[in-house]
Amino acid sequence: MRYVVAMVFAVIGAALTSVFLSSQVANWVVLHLSFDSPDDADSLHMLVYMGSNVAGLIVGWLVGWVVAGAGSAGKQQT
């Protein structure tokens, strides 16, 4: 059951990161650098956007893993 809770939290974390954080982080990174071509800027924007989403997924997974572990800490494994 711990894995299911961690997966649910991971999806929620990735969704929240995608909606509220990834675009702003990608825009900030791209605005602070200079590029020779628009394709380079677009490639970096996509890379930072996807990297932020993966980070949100991992953080959500870890939060879910801890929450599910804390909920099952009092139970005896048989």
Q: What is the pLDDT of residues 23-77, one digit of tens each?
A: 999 999 999 999 999 999 999 999 999 999 999 999 999 999 999 988 766 666 5
Q: How many domains does the chain have?
A: 1
CB 68 within 8 A of CB 6: yes
Distance (Å, rounded) from C-alpha 45 to C-alpha 25?
Answer: 9
Tokens 């956007």 sit on residue: 49
The count of residues in the chain is 78
Domain annotation covers residue 69: no
The residue among 31, 30, 23, 29 whose CA lies nearest residue 50 is: 23
Is 34 inside a domain boundary? yes
What's 76's DSSP letter?
A: P
* 76 occurs within a structural domain: no
Q: How far apart are CA 60 and CA 6, in angstroms?
A: 7
List the domain range (segments joined by +) for residue 52.
Answer: 2-64
- The band of 18, judged by pLDDT with boundaries at 50, 70 and 90, is very high
